[in-house]
Structure 1
Amino acid sequence: MYTRSNQRNLTRAQKRRFVDALLALKRSGRYDEFVRMHGRYYVSDAEEGARAAHMAPSFFPWHRRYLLEFEQALQAVDPGVSVPYWDWTVDNSPSSSLWADDFMGGTGRALDRQVMTGPFAHRNGNWRITTRITDGRFLTRDLGRPRDPVSLPTRADVDAALADPVYDAAPWDSTSATGFRNRIEGWNAGGEQRWRNHNRVHRWVGGLMMGATSPNDPVFWLHHAFMDLLWTRWQQAHPRSGYLPRTRLPREDPAYGQVFALDEPMPPWDVRPSALLDHTRHYRYA
């Protein structure tokens, strides 16, 4: 059992150990394997085939297992490291300590959005992007999108999602109008409000966080650790509610074969969502 802490409470030494473990994982090539995995399983509901990671009920358990495996890889480098979480309802500015030179580094320069500060700046020689959609070799960000500003979600936005007592609802995709899962994952019809909560954070960071290979930006892990914590808070707030769908969808359902019910194994690990409902045998949150 170990603890995932709020990144704002990390000591300088804890930040350094986390960063060093990330850099070691990158040098080994293991980090980029995780980036490729996320890209492989980012399947939209406009595509054919199963959707395990996004736009589906398994968004939370899939990413829980994904983060666990990543965390275990970090701990193979340094057993004292865990993934901290970024509460973007509080640390909601490009000037937050999260973006300091000794941690995640800052936003990208105006010319090409290249991150020039911090340990993941390309010019420091330790963070070369190899798995990407674009041709760039460097980490990019556009924090807050100054030319067309976007704000981070608020505590009220999160609370509205946490208040939904139903985990997910048909049609089990990006168009689901109700349900905690999509209220937090953040798909919505129309305009800028299409991007809520989780999705809006990806847009606020900008750069490589905008695509299927968003783990190229190390802040991805801190963002998704907070997603995991929010799932835990929802479970605590609604103890009589649970993961849906509980059973495999009938063949006549349009989403048949595309979403994973409670006891249907998810790729690539063949682990069921039901095995990932309780995180407490692995870690706790501070």
Structure 2
Amino acid sequence: MKLSAGVLAAAAAIGLSAVGVTDAQQTQPRCSSVYTRKELLSLTPTEWNTVSGVLRTMQNQGWFAWFAYLHTNWFSQIHSQSQFFPFHRRFVYEWERVARQYNPAYVQPYWDEMRDYRAPATSAVLSSNWVGSNGQGTNRCVMNGVQGGWTMSYLGNHCLQRNFARSGNLGPWYSPEYITSIIQRAPNMTVFRPQIEFSLHGIVHIETGGDMATRASVNDWIFMLHHTNIDRLWWQWQQNGHLWTMDGPNWDGTQISLNTNIAYFNEPIRNVMQLGYGQMCYQYATNPLSRRSLIGGVENLISSVLPPDVLHKWFPDSAKVPSITFAPGAKPPPPSNGKVIPYPREIPDSWIVSMGNDLANAKNARADARNFVEAMNKAGYKSPY
């Protein structure tokens, strides 16, 4: 009997984003020290005070407007093609670099959205103690949290807006199992990028709504939390045999390569490919809160049996792990409140088109996610997440 703990073993192997070793592709000097990006809810009170204080300063100094302007004006060059990951890694780093000029203790956190995928609106992240909840009133103004009551200046003065989908009934989004499956299956950037961009990436933007559903989404600091997490997932895929993988289309129709310049920043993509080198002097911590999360967790419990054909198709790396067998008559441990994986919310075609994104790629990503859920449910898989 094969236990889907093979999924666990492979996921745990890529969970800790340690700084890798150099090779012939690396042209940047190794960092003398690295700082660690943590999941938001794992910040200490002192760390959160540092972050929230710097955010207020950056708002007062016009940095939210500046970064929203950059993201808006370069939007078409950084989405629906392979600039997506390197641009946003460099973009988030630039935000962090500016923030650390105000306080060197600032480190950009991330939001592990897979942990909250079944009911995102109930996440502590979206509470008054952290980033604030849904917008209120006719204009859907955010009234609590770190940006509560803020007036954003880019694209005209307006309150920071959030307008959760379906009157606040967010999700389900994308399960940790599905994101792990993408990381294991995607053979190149041409496949990996749309599967992430048009699943977890897109749904968080559109379902949060308000400013987050526009090209000026940087107005909402959830953008930085979200894209730091997207960067973390890219790094995990890179460590899964794709450290220097960069292929697919560039915004101008040419084929992208490590020597292609990052949009706006005018420096080669290779400069941001390996964490711990050049300016990328950071790493990602394993999330201590994610005992229930495959991505970033090391104490996972997967207790349902996956047939070999399902395991090989959807978790090829896990299929290589020696199977766990039980004595005759023995049974695997029962699920820990196991539930079927729900179908994720789908990004509306209208939003894909309005953002100038590739509708065909989006539909392919949507079908892949549906097929995954169908395969897991048909196999009788019950998720503890």
> Which TM-score tier does this pair reach, normalised by the shorter chain?
0.7 to 0.9
- Say yes or no: does 1:84 pair with 2:71: no
Answer yes or no: is 1:223 the counterpart of 2:226: yes
Asked whether the equivalents of residues 246 and 256 of structure 2 are also in contact (C-alpha less than 8 Å), the reply is: no
Q: Once the two structures are superposed, what CA deviation does each residue of 1:13-40 show, in whole Å capped at 9, x if it has no partner?
A: 2112111101101111123111100001
Do the aligned residues in 2 keep the contact of 1:165 with 1:241 (CA within 8 Å)? no
**Structure 2 counterparts to residues 133-148 of structure 1, below 5 A:** 137-146=158-167
The answer to whether the aligner puts 1:71 opposite 2:93 as a matched pair is: no
Contact 2:276 2:282 in 1 (8 A): yes
Count of aligned pairs: 247
Q: AA paired with 1:8?
A: L
Q: How many Å apart are 1:166 and its aligned residue?
A: 2.2
Equivalent position of 1:267 in the other structure: 263
RMSD (Å) for aligned C-alpha atoms: 2.2
AA paired with 2:269? P
Alignment of 1:134-213 (within 5 A): 137-146=158-167, 150-169=171-190, 179-186=191-198, 196-213=199-216
Distance in 1, Cα, partners of 2:256 & 2:112: 28
Aligned to 1:283: 282
Q: When you count helix as a share of all residues, which structure comes out higher?
A: 2
Distance 2:114 2:135 in 1: 22
Paired residue secondary structure (2:283): strand
Structure 2 letter corresponding to 1:283:
Y
2:57 equivalent to 1:24: yes
* CA distance in 2: counterparts of 1:31 and 1:77, whole angstroms: 14
Counterparts in 2 of 1:240 and 1:83: CA distance versus 1, 3 Å: closer
Shift, 1:259, TM fit: 6.0
Q: Distance in 1 between matches of 2:230 and 2:151?
A: 27
Letter aligned with residue 133 of structure 2: G
Q: How many angstroms does 1:167 deviate by?
A: 2.4
Task: Kindly state the Cα deviation for residue 136 of structure 1 after the two structures are TM-superposed.
Answer: 6.2
Identity of aligned residues (%): 26
Residue 75 of structure 2 aligns to a residue in which SS?
Answer: coil
User: Which runs of 5 or more residues in structure 1 are unaligned?
Assistant: 44-50, 170-178, 187-195, 250-254
Q: Provide the residue aligned with 1:129 in structure 2.
A: 152
The alpha-carbon distance between structure 1 residues 263 and 26, as it changes in their structure 2 partners (threshold 3 A), is same
Instruction: Answer whether contact 2:134 2:168 (CA < 8 A) is retained.
Output: no
Which moved further from structure 2: 62-71 or 22-31? 22-31
The 2-side partners of 1:158 and 1:226 are apart by 12
Contact 2:188–2:246 (CA under 8 A) maintained in structure 1: yes
2:183 partner letter: L
Normalised by the length of structure 2, the TM-score is 0.60
Q: 1:60 to 1:159 in 2, by over 3 A?
A: same
Q: Which amino acid aligns with 2:86?
A: P
3-state SS of 1:163 partner: helix
Q: For structure 2, which runs of at least 5 residues remain unmatched after alignment?
A: 1-33, 286-385
Inter-CA distance 159–110: structure 2 relative to 1 (3 Å threshold): farther
Cα displacement string for residues 33-88 of structure 1 (whole angstroms, at most 9, x for unaligned residues): 11100001101xxxxxxx2x111111111011101110011001110011101010
